[in-house]
Chains A and B, each alone.
Chain A
């Protein structure tokens, strides 16, 4: 092997890295700055609407992991009353098949992605914990009505290289929409 090109290739590469010295960084300072996630994000949790749920257990049947546990009894109006609706998010792989299969839109993926816990037991979400709340909001995955109400995702493609600086839209620090811890 020879250095046939007199080091021109090396010089070109050095010029490129030097050029990058003047390009703005593309990283985001995470806990302070948060990007807007996709409207269809399959976040780290599920949201369950007890009033819509009929206890048909279609979601439990469609789960590849057998992760959703539903216990029902027959109620007064010949309907199913849900006694237990439990999801172990520690085993869940957030494929979204349960949400897609639900015929009554009683289950939705969550928006939050910050659901780390210190105990495995805390990852098992019970009937009460799965309900809609300030920190547990549904995402638009397979739910076009919810999708239309969510803000537009920030995209790295739209980041402007020539003008410099972060052109990505960021979420200010807030506890809304379940993004805060």
Chain B
């Protein structure tokens, strides 16, 4: 999109401007596309000050931009003196100085540690919201995508497999890979239609009811927080505990075929032990057949 690579096929159009068109062999060079590009490590010019970096892209002096991203006090600093979050802001201010028609952020948190990452992510989300500018963020992290994006396009082996909101991706994943990206348990099974939807007999053993109608071989997705533990005798689905660990104040229980997230027990029941056999259940509406809307 920035024009740094020449694709083999396709078209890139922004509004009425055609930037790339493979059949017509049209390729507009980067300096003539108005893309505000933030590469993974921000690529600030090390020989220029913060203000110099911004001025490089601006046709006129733009002190307002540093103010807008909240780093006016760093105008005279060199990139090597800045923290990761500050560098990102400089890169953003510099990209904005170009007066871009679209922003392209490549792995914006790749160069940051976890603590800075969360802080910077929230700040970036706020900034992008105030910019009134289309922004395309490339990331491997679904968490980042949820915070930053209204619409998420999932690329799998070079193809766009689904373009939807985070909620839609979770509710009706188009492929097993999309479901896995959202963190769901993905299982193979055979569906038989029933009065309230369908009953799915899992390949690994056990059954789950779904509110969706389906028949034949299917894949289902269930989120870890939608599974509930129950008495192994009273359910058609059982599994064995592999490990239990704390996950942001909840317990993440890994079973042999599933993982689930539960609230820590407060009612005095004995904690889960490794090797313990447990029963599982999920509400039929939470058992989603992959690839069905």
Q: Do A and B share a complex?
A: no
